[in-house]
Amino acid sequence: MIKVWDYLEEYNLLRKDILEAVDNAFKGGTLIFGPKVKEFEEKFASYCECKYGIGVGNGTDALYVALKGLGIERGDEVITVSNTAVPTVTAIVSAGATPVFVDIDQYSLMDVNQIEKMISKKTKAIIPVHLFGQTCDMDPILKIASMHDLKIIEDCAQSHGALYKGRKAGSLGDVGCFSFYPTKIFGAYGDGGFITTNNEEWYDKMNRLRFFGMERKTMSTGHWNGKYYCVEYGPDTTNSRLDEVHAVILLLKLPYIDQWIDRRREIGEIYKKNLSETELDLPKEAPWNRHGYYIYVVAHSERDKIMQELVENDIHLNISYPWPIHIMEGYKYLGWKDGDLPVTEKRAKTIFSLPMYPTLSDEKIKTTIEVLKELLKKYN
Ligand SMILES: Cc1ncc(COP(=O)(O)O)c(C=O)c1O
């Protein structure tokens, strides 16, 4: 069987080190707010070229805490895309704000030319989603945000290590939000998330907001101590912490991140070389960035039939995402309808993702290409 994503080969590779690190974490005596979380926060923030980092429970929490930390309130509007994972929008709604959507460009990223016309008196922030491993075109977004006094929260859940004009995703806006969901470019062995910023005041505030609004102090041992005293307004706060056990695994994996992104890019090249003559619409790498290929998204008008036949050949693919958020039942109340975001809607009907993860073997890539090419002959 060929899966679109699998962690078991990576686990086989790192099993001994992971089990030893996890054992040490359990023996260390602190399971929450331990020294390894602190060490990871410093190291991953530094990898993202940021001064400050906060490990949280997942990427959705990272977005919620970032929105609250930047002062987003009930009645505010936040501009983002509908072509994203639902949590981008869930976080905006949980923060009490209203999501406002813009369509996407030829790279499936936020169309920066559509942002300004969606700005109203209520607009307070933009969430550019660095989707599939690429970054949005940040210079125009930064310019618009500065002209209209808007905050920028980068949704980097799918773009660890991606480079925009040589600078790291997560260091470009006011705050960066990451997910360590296992499938991600840099994933934990469970849930996890992260916030990056270069602003000390926001860092302090977000650190409190994700811990019931309490102040914490680092002790000489490297452990943290909560004072059981809330400084922040309750409903803006939550409980969201990266566990010590995930921190040790992420610390262990961090040195591999760039070589694994290189391998993803190599797999992307193999697909491109072998599939460019077919009718498949292949992903385009935006000129401003280094694509990390979180997923390799292709498009074809006969998507559903092709995927069905691939399953019959034991090749299991995925669609990210089959439904744009603005026309989902759960978000109907926002008042958007079919036809409002034509590029997003058209893409959702045709896209699917080929197998992509760093330990994917050349043999599995070859089989996927051969089976796919044979099938495509039928649908030309
Ligand atoms: C673009 C995007 N934003 C936010 C999230 C939320 O991350 P998590 O699943 O860790 O809450 C995800 C992950 O699913 C994502 O892909």
Atom nearest to 91 CA in ligand 1: 4
* Assigned token pair, 21: 């690190």
Q: How far does the centroid of ligand 1 lie from the alpha carbon of residue 80, in Å?
A: 14
For ligand 1, say whether the CB of 355 is within 6 Å of any of its atoms.
no
Q: Tell me the C-alpha to C-alpha distance, in Å, between residue 36 and each of 125, 299, 315, 341.
A: 33, 42, 39, 44
For ligand 1, say whether the CB of 207 is within 6 Å of any of its atoms.
no
Q: How far does the centroid of ligand 1 lie from the alpha carbon of residue 180, in Å?
A: 8
Q: Which of 136, 160, 181 maximizes ligand 1 atoms within 8 Å of its Cβ, making it the mutation to test the pocket?
A: 181
Q: How far does the centroid of ligand 1 lie from the alpha carbon of residue 378, in Å?
A: 36
Q: Which of 5, 56, 60, 156 maximizes ligand 1 atoms within 8 Å of its Cβ, making it the mutation to test the pocket?
A: 60
Atom nearest to 320 CA in ligand 1: 16
Rounded CA-CA distance 317/333 in Å is 32
pLDDT (tens digit, 0 to 9) for every residue of the chain, 380 residues total?
999 999 999 999 999 999 999 999 999 999 999 999 999 999 999 999 999 999 999 999 999 999 999 999 999 999 999 999 999 999 999 999 999 999 999 999 999 999 999 999 999 999 999 999 999 999 999 999 999 999 999 999 999 999 999 999 999 999 999 999 999 999 999 999 999 999 999 999 999 999 999 987 777 777 777 677 888 999 999 999 999 999 999 999 999 999 999 999 999 999 999 999 999 999 999 999 999 999 999 999 999 999 999 999 999 999 999 999 999 999 999 999 999 999 999 999 999 999 999 999 999 999 999 999 999 999 87
For ligand 1, say whether the CB of 88 is within 6 Å of any of its atoms.
yes
For ligand 1, say whether the CB of 193 is within 6 Å of any of its atoms.
yes
| Residue nearest to ligand 1 atom 7, measured at CA | 59
pTM for this prediction: 0.97
